[in-house]
């Protein structure tokens, strides 16, 4: 009642963002309120340019400034390997490791029938087209290790078995720096099943 209406509106808008609750939204709004106009304007400009300048790559659906993204264009990447991920943010995380030098395919989500996300709403048809029309030899499924990710991996591996490409899935096990004592039993179980000979 005593919250000024423009402040309440800003709090409501900010708390729609993922991982931002009401309290954090209030803190952010009051921080912006206390700061200079330039701070807010430079945030606004960056958000607008984000939306105006960035599109999705027509080949892999990764984020891109141009029609085709830098990874798909690059001549230094191994064009015979394709890594399937859920989201563009996964591409960023994998790129940071410097362990992967192939191409990507961003599905734009994982199968989740309860939320209405079916195979048709994901870029699965486009994936199949890429696999059959190109020189791809291996597909690495790098979806999140949860129920939806696993279901999607299973679905994709069944579809892809009809082609001649090799299919793999990134390993599950104890995270580096993790502690067996504090790991959940599903993770420890997976680490045993996925053990490799040394």
Residues within the interface to a copy of itself (CB under 8 A): 2-7, 9-10, 12-14, 16-20, 24, 26-34, 37, 39-40, 42-44, 46-54, 63-65, 70-71, 87-89, 91-92, 95
Q: What string of H, E and C letters represents the secondary structure of the chain? A: CCCCHHHHHHHHHHCCCCCCCHHHHHHHHHHHHHCCHHHHHHHHHHHHHHHHHCEECCCCCCEECCCCCHHHHCCCCCCCEEEEECCHHHHHHHHHHCCCCCEEEECCCCCEHHHCECHHHCCHHHHHHHHHHCCCCEEEECCCCCHHHHHHHHHHHHHHCCCCCEEEECCCCCCCCCCHHHCCHHHHHHHHHCCCCC
The nearer residue to a copy of itself, 61 or 169, going by C-beta atoms, is 61
The nearer residue to a copy of itself, 99 or 196, going by C-beta atoms, is 99
CB 81 within 8 A of CB 140: yes
- To a copy of itself, the closest distance from the beta carbon of 169 in angstroms equals 23
- To a copy of itself, the closest distance from the beta carbon of 19 in angstroms equals 6
The nearer residue to a copy of itself, 24 or 134, going by C-beta atoms, is 24
CB 85 within 8 A of CB 96: no
Residue for token pair 């800003």: 10
- To a copy of itself, the closest distance from the beta carbon of 119 in angstroms equals 19
The nearer residue to a copy of itself, 148 or 160, going by C-beta atoms, is 148
The nearer residue to a copy of itself, 10 or 127, going by C-beta atoms, is 10
- To a copy of itself, the closest distance from the beta carbon of 9 in angstroms equals 5
The nearer residue to a copy of itself, 108 or 157, going by C-beta atoms, is 108
- To a copy of itself, the closest distance from the beta carbon of 17 in angstroms equals 5
- To a copy of itself, the closest distance from the beta carbon of 116 in angstroms equals 16
């Amino acid at each position: 009642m005593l919250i000024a209406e423009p402040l309440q509106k800003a709090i409501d808008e900010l708390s729609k963002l993922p991982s931002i609750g009401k309290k954090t939204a209030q803190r952010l709004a009051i921080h912006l309120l206390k700061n200079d106009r330039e701070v807010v304007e430079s945030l606004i400009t960056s958000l607008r340019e984000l939306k105006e300048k960035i599109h999705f790559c027509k080949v892999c659906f990764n984020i891109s400034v141009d029609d085709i993204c830098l990874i798909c264009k690059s001549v230094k990447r191994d064009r015979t390997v394709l890594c399937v991920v859920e989201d563009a943010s996964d591409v960023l995380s994998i790129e940071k490791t410097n362990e992967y030098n192939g191409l990507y395919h961003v599905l734009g989500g994982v199968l989740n029938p309860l939320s209405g996300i079916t195979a048709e709403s994901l870029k699965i048809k486009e994936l199949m087209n890429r696999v059959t029309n190109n020189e791809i030899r291996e597909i690495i499924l790098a979806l999140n290790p949860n129920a939806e990710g696993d279901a999607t991996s299973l679905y994709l591996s069944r579809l892809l078995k009809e082609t001649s490409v090799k299919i793999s899935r990134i390993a599950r096990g104890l995270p580096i720096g993790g502690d067996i004592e504090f790991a959940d039993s599903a993770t420890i179980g997976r680490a045993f099943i996925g053990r490799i000979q040394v």
